Structure 1
């Protein structure tokens, strides 16, 4: 049996295992099981499973790739600079735990956007849900595309399998094991997938250290000498200035976790607020260590590659009529030609092109597959839940029986699976090589209005009574943010990074303040 056949068999067996677990976990499920797990989820299961959801394939592939100089039209990340964003994430999780979770539990919410309806009006409720659906659909499919593309390029392309077939099959897998149980199922399956992801991470680190005959301390010292571990970017004009990435990371967490139905539906499925807080703080602390391990792995991958015939070369690109020089990482083949390896390709290229032994390739693939499913199953369940609860009002509909509601929810679930497939194909057409950065930038535009809307509701007592004005503000704020970003790019040396979400949220808040009702509620 060929190595490719063995790897594909491992993916198949992994999925069969998920289906078996999903079958037993989803027995006796109803709509409340699908939406919030009947509020019976164990906090430690949710905390551990959320690691996989938060990390996904982006962390598994892109974060190690950020350690070296990334290719492209400009310098994006290098060294351990990304860790400043992770520290921002950590602070953001405390804000979620001690400000947002108490609010959600006090109001006993199924959908967190119900808060906007009770605080403002139905318009705000539906707008919040719509921005979430757009945001999560784009973010989840970008993550999913990254992993599907790796499987396609390194395993299935040589077998003649088209990309669209790979995407469709994987989405069908996700649909099958989330179709019935929803949150009740994914709390358990995400725990399994997180376990495999972390075991894969540890296995790859141990193998590379052994192959290089280095201890972890010795490897870190070498990485430090090669400037692969620098943490602080002090260039204020750079997108990755340490203050930008720290505060940007903090607000991204508040928005992409605390104001995100996918992440919060798992938290509010825990039986009480105290345990939900424990879940969030445990999860936050664990992510500090896991992300650091992924960055360390990234450094080891570059050391391993340079030990095994890797070379750097410079490529001249023409961008907007100007020449730019990019450092590209690559390997020489038998004919002496250099095959270019960019940031997101480094880990899979080493794992699946024969540089690692088959056992490590299997470990990598299982970890990658484990990273794939949590980024898709929770998102698919969450957008289905939000559309049904927030936009269709399925919980309040007294004209339908529970069986009719269930059939409607399943049709919505299937529809979003098709939408996810279309978005993956769009990302394939875009073919961006730095998904980790792209996701953060897109989040700045789509989650910013949610950030401003929730902040205005929580920190002021004003009402917005004018029909259509909330929609106008939340649509205008991202447009103004984009125009401001273009002005900065064209007329200054400053570059807006992940602080984009702060600017967008602030513009939304200011816009709501300008149309507020004069009388306090």
Structure 2
């Protein structure tokens, strides 16, 4: 694909996003209200559909198809847990957050424990979301760099700056109200890219729908269940991790919950979560089917599989499937990059403005301050992504991303203890507990083989992290002091 074609695709895509931003941005005095909550008037089905693309992100778009050769379809075990996790979010967290009319979900911690717990919870979100969003955008930016920017000798730092500037331009005014609509567009391109690639491969291999499904079903790469309890992808480890990671990284994540809270009622928000969960599950199945077919294609045509599985889909899409499929793939990876970064940028701005600056959605003099915060976090994302590039070690970058995930353990512990216990705690010590918990969890994970007869933790280390936080909160409990929730 020529660099000119790539430029035209990205340019037209961005113009479309700007047009959506213009249509959805608040023109009057309620810009902050629209930015933070979309005036709580979003249609639940639009939110549900758009969240599929934002949740898939570039990591899923590139990584899930490539990983089937190593781990098969065992990822579905995790997704089964996700379904349970989303049901708990719908019927436990959604009613709680709506009843308190929250803008930032971490405001709950202030009413439950105190100001230190509140700031600590929001700070942990800001750290994890910044690193997580930067990591996802970094992967997508690498593909765009190879496909376009290298042809013009544009440095990686400049290409990232341009990408983030484009995102800032269509989100700085409309915020979450714009995101709800742009996510809908971006989900469409993500799914379209996967479905069209499947069609392209099937046609190339002479498969009809029945034979394609038969090939996928009979492949050794389509095995779902793993029952070896020592394996990192053992069923119950994956399933339980899916439940609690969903609760932590979706239900207790401002990025995701801010979209849910734009629905006009609890009932509509619950429908949004449940239908989104179902759509997300089937979208993941589509990418797993794609993964099997990608390897079938390389085997049939004698194409050497790259050492890094993340490179498989981009390699084939850009070089072997023809121009139209390459364009569709480029739209998909661009949508993945933008959908994960734009909502993260909006959520980071919201959390900082509400939790640390004490802004109120109804105050009319907040627009300038909010825009400055939005610009500031855009620059922070830029610095983190460039920092990943300077490291120039994918293993280190991936480790930083995984380390950021440890911050969700204390959040899970704080919310679980807050919801199921009526006891008040020594609020001023909570920050130290939340810093200690991830460190202890990391050490336990590092020496798990020696400590637990060869057992290796996977995603479920999050539960250990949360449990340490809960035990610590119990230790910090004030005597004879309860709170009415």
C-alpha distance in 2, partners of 1:433/1:242? 28
Corresponding residue to 1:449 among 383, 402, 410 = 410
- TM alignment of 1:369-518, pairs within 5 A: 369-395=334-360, 402-403=364-365, 405-431=366-392, 433=394, 441-442=402-403, 444-464=405-425, 466-489=426-449, 493-518=454-479
C-alpha distance in 1, partners of 2:405/2:233? 15
Structure 1 residue 438: deviation in Å? Answer: 5.5
Note closer, same or farther for the CA distance 1:435–1:66 as it changes in structure 2 (3 Å cut): farther
2:6 maps to what in 1? 7
2:309 maps to what in 1? 343
**Greater mean deviation of Cα atoms: 13-22 or 210-219:** 210-219
C-alpha distance in 2, partners of 1:111/1:376? 19
CA contact (8 A) 1:154 1:348 kept: no
C-alpha distance in 2, partners of 1:248/1:204? 31
**Greater mean deviation of Cα atoms: 25-34 or 56-65:** 25-34
C-alpha distance in 1, partners of 2:81/2:61? 19
Note closer, same or farther for the CA distance 1:302–1:432 as it changes in structure 2 (3 Å cut): farther
CA contact (8 A) 2:58 2:140 kept: yes
Structure 1 residue 7: deviation in Å? Answer: 2.0
C-alpha distance in 1, partners of 2:382/2:300? 39
CA contact (8 A) 2:66 2:313 kept: yes
CA contact (8 A) 1:62 1:344 kept: yes
TM-score normalised by the chain length of structure 2: 0.95
**Greater mean deviation of Cα atoms: 255-264 or 388-397:** 388-397
Q: What is the DSSP-based 3-state SS (H/G/I as helix, E as strand, rest coil) of the residue aligned with 1:41?
A: coil
Structure 1 residue 310: deviation in Å? Answer: 2.1
Note closer, same or farther for the CA distance 1:278–1:434 as it changes in structure 2 (3 Å cut): farther
RMSD: 2.0
2:15 maps to what in 1? 16
**Greater mean deviation of Cα atoms: 31-40 or 151-160:** 151-160
Q: Deviations over 1:405-434 (max 9, x none)?
A: 211111111110111011112222445658
2:189 maps to what in 1? 196
C-alpha distance in 2, partners of 1:80/1:129? 35
Aligned residues: 479
C-alpha distance in 2, partners of 1:239/1:232? 12
Q: Deviations over 1:432-464 (max 9, x none)?
A: 658997588335411110000000000100001
Structure 1 residue 467: deviation in Å? Answer: 4.5
C-alpha distance in 2, partners of 1:153/1:406? 38
CA contact (8 A) 2:32 2:361 kept: no
1:180 maps to what in 2? 173
C-alpha distance in 2, partners of 1:26/1:439? 35
**Greater mean deviation of Cα atoms: 492-501 or 440-449:** 440-449
Note closer, same or farther for the CA distance 1:247–1:390 as it changes in structure 2 (3 Å cut): same
